[in-house]
Amino acid sequence: MSRAKRREFELLDVDADHAKCAAFNMLFAVWRYHTHYDAFRRCLHWMDLLTQRNPEGIGLMHIVEPTAIAPDAPTRRLFAEVMRVPTVQHYSVLHPARGFKAASVRAVVASSFALARSRTPHAVHSSLQEAASWHADQQRRLGREETAEQIAKVVEGLRGEHAERFPLIERAP
């Protein structure tokens, strides 16, 4: 990948199962196979660092790939904890798969949002454009100027970087 592409975001953490990056005041995470507790817990570390640089607050966008496996119970509880972090100003999950299983995944995520009882604006999306537009609206609410196109470009870049480093396989390792 070219250096120009890498300048769009700061790559923070990557392995075969996931990749995380920071751009603007946002943390982006791609979950491809397993959503391990320790990898998810590191989101808190990156959120703290982003908050230090962005006192207006931060946004989170999780991209759950169609190949992702549902997390275990401790990781799901941590998901709710992350949603209640006071500096998180907007949070979404993008699951770009189609069909009944995909709709079920989005419904489970929406239920998790409800159970977390977070006052943070949150959403579940099925398309990147929809998610990027929603986050751009939330960014404007914070007085920031990132566009849907810029946000989508970060997601595409992170997904591309992840695929380049760890080519997709049919089944989870």
Asked if pLDDT for residue 2 goes beyond 50, the answer is no
Asked if pLDDT for residue 154 goes beyond 60, the answer is yes
Give the model's pLDDT for residue 77. Answer: 83
- Read off the pLDDT of each residue in 90-109 and give the average, rounded to a whole number: 76
- Sequence-distant (6+) residues with CB within 8 A of 20 are 11, 12, 13, 14, 27, 28, 29, 30, 42, 43, 46
Asked if pLDDT for residue 121 goes beyond 50, the answer is yes
Asked if pLDDT for residue 114 goes beyond 70, the answer is no
Q: What does the alpha-carbon distance between residue 26 and residue 46 come to, in Å, rounded to a whole number?
A: 10
Q: Where are the alpha helices (DSSP H) in 71-127?
A: 73-83, 100-116
pLDDT band at 13 (very low <50, low <70, confident <90, very high): very high
pLDDT band at 173 (very low <50, low <70, confident <90, very high): low
Of 45-49, 98-102, 142-146, 156-160, which range is least confident?
98-102
pLDDT band at 96 (very low <50, low <70, confident <90, very high): confident
For 3-165, which CATH class? Answer: alpha beta
Domain boundaries, the chain: 3-165
C-beta neighbour count of 26 within 10 angstroms? 23
Give the model's pLDDT for residue 4. Answer: 43
Give the model's pLDDT for residue 151. Answer: 98
Asked if pLDDT for residue 101 goes beyond 80, the answer is no
